[in-house]
Structure 1
Amino acid sequence: MIRSRLPHSPRPLAAPALLSALLATCGLAHAADGASFGIGADYSRGDYGTGLDTGILSIPVSARVRSGNWTFGASVPWLRVSGDPNVLPTTGPVDNLNPLGRGRDGLLGGGSSEDADGGLQRGTASGIGDVTLAATYAVPTGSALGVELGASAKIATADEDKGLGTGANDYGVSVGLHRDFDGTMLFGGVGHTWLGDSTWIDVDSVVGGNLGVSRQAGRGRLGAMLEHRSASAEGLDDRRDAVGFYTLPTDAGGSVQVYAGRGLSDGSPDWSAGISIRSGF
């Protein structure tokens, strides 16, 4: 679509740094140790500069455990993707040479968005996405400044022949900062992700960052954020997005978050929106 610990990411394409920054906005920095489970729904749509719209529906389920300064999380989405076979969930636009990609019917010559007759290729597929594992450590600073160090791994469980993933594992690290000023939270972060190459997809490592602000609004927090992420391959566009969100805490350490985003470059979807619900016990 991000305190001291890692929260639910608002969007599937979010970089690791975005995760720690959104965590700071939830107002849960001093949440008690324990476990929680979450479910969400996210939809994004755009042409990513290809001339053909791609819609991505993601329904992630997740689990998270807090213990002291550590937070550990795991998530996996169910995906439905319709559109250009060169646009993949999480990664975004790539040069996908897989002849079995969405809408290609096993024909060689992948990487182009045109079929044999010169028309735009289009396909629809659904299934389980990649598993994401994450760990975050809240650094004791002895001050009002919050610092979080994060590490993540994306395990290639999605079907690359359906165009639901790259077929390779990714690994990332991030640093997030936040500070409250009389009820106004400023937050930001940077991250680096090493994207894995697969048989059909050659990608580069990416760097990303975000900067945002949130404010107490009723029982919850209302906020906005800008996010940037470098392109996954030479010749493709960087990703830039603006996101607005509202997070409402619930009983038992849970939360409900709604958000909407607008793409600011061809590397982003034109728009996205979603909801996430988390319950602790």
Structure 2
Amino acid sequence: MRFRSLVGMGILSSWAVVTVAHAAPRFTLGNVPSYYQGTFGTGSHINIFYDATYFQFRNRDLRLKLMVPYISVSGLPQGARLTGGGIVHRPGTTQTQNSASGLGDIWLSAHYTVYQRTGLLPAVVPYAKVKLGTASATNGLGTGRNDYEIGVGLDETIGTRIFPFAHLGYRFVGNPAGGNLHNIWTYDMGSSFVATPRNILTAMFSGSESEQPGYAGPADIVFAWNYNVTRAGSGIQLYADKGLSNGSANYGVGLGAQIVF
């Protein structure tokens, strides 16, 4: 599982406000603790606690986000490292396993709507992301290298309740010494459904190529529920993730909250 995909892509922070106009600037402060368990293509059962705190600015066309995560991992095979949402340097079955906690990789992202939705044509939203290699490579919490991603999103509206979306990106992967990591394509598609003004349901398929040759890339299906406490979009978020490939977590769950002002 790309265990930071939901918050990193901005899915969670936008679900709660899909029915709110953004002519005026808005700021969002949120926190989403998540837990993932699986082998991620190794011979070990790995547990990851990923606690992402983010700050976002958004107006009608522009969305800027800073995300700072805290990571705690156990069962990580000796020599393996977390990367931009997955695991690399997977040595297979090993008796030596690590546990570590600390600052994760900080993410910066920018989305800009270059074409507003009209009729049957979706909104076109190019984006750029930077992953700063702030997580400890020594402890296996990161690669110690920056990643850069560019891509485009398509956002549609069907009636007043259904909001389909899709994103396609290309990530330039920072390669540590001896890493032999590859640049990858990332993608997701899904739809949000406004059940009531306060309740928003979302289903999404998300995946990417594998950064490490010879291993399956992550592929996941995600179901989520947002509950809006305020009209601006402040509220809570709950989601469940099911991995569909050997490169994903077996499952993941997350529960968070955000304040929009």
The answer to whether residue 200 in structure 2 is matched with residue 221 in structure 1 is yes
What letter is aligned with 2:115?
A: P
The partner residue of 1:198 within 176, 180, 196 is 176
Q: Contact conserved, 1:42 with 1:57, CA < 8 A, in 2?
A: yes
* Corresponding position of 1:35: 27
* Corresponding position of 1:58: 50
1:118-165 CA-to-partner distances (Å, cap 9, x unmatched) read x52211000011110011101233504222111000011111101111
Q: Structure 2: any 5+ residue segments left out of the alignment? A: none
> RMSD value over aligned CA atoms?
2.4
Change (3 A) 1:180 1:210: same
The answer to whether residue 130 in structure 2 is matched with residue 138 in structure 1 is no
* Corresponding position of 1:129: 104
Partners in 1 of 2:3 and 2:239 — Cα distance? 9
1:169-212 CA-to-partner distances (Å, cap 9, x unmatched) read 00001211121212222211111111101125331111011121
Partners in 2 of 1:203 and 1:15 — Cα distance? 24
* Aligned-pair CA distance for 1:220: 1.7
The answer to whether residue 255 in structure 2 is matched with residue 278 in structure 1 is no
* Aligned-pair CA distance for 1:52: 0.9
The partner residue of 2:131 within 154, 163, 167 is 154
Q: Contact conserved, 1:35 with 1:65, CA < 8 A, in 2?
A: yes
1:67-109 CA-to-partner distances (Å, cap 9, x unmatched) read 44111110111110112232515342312xxxxxxxxxxxxxx
Partners in 2 of 1:263 and 1:246 — Cα distance? 18
Helix, strand or coil: the match of 1:153? strand
The answer to whether residue 75 in structure 2 is matched with residue 83 in structure 1 is yes
Partners in 2 of 1:256 and 1:35 — Cα distance? 16
* Corresponding position of 2:37: 45
Normalised TM-score (structure 2): 0.88
> How many residues matched?
253
* Corresponding position of 1:170: 147
Helix, strand or coil: the match of 1:160? coil
1:24-44 CA-to-partner distances (Å, cap 9, x unmatched) read 675156233122211110110
* Corresponding position of 1:103: none
Normalised TM-score (structure 1): 0.82
Q: Contact conserved, 1:44 with 1:273, CA < 8 A, in 2?
A: yes
* Aligned-pair CA distance for 1:233: 1.7
What letter is aligned with 1:140?
A: Y
Helix, strand or coil: the match of 1:162? coil
Partners in 2 of 1:21 and 1:63 — Cα distance? 12
Q: Contact conserved, 1:113 with 1:121, CA < 8 A, in 2?
A: no
* Aligned-pair CA distance for 1:112: 2.8
**Percent pairwise identity:** 27
Q: Contact conserved, 2:125 with 2:154, CA < 8 A, in 1?
A: yes
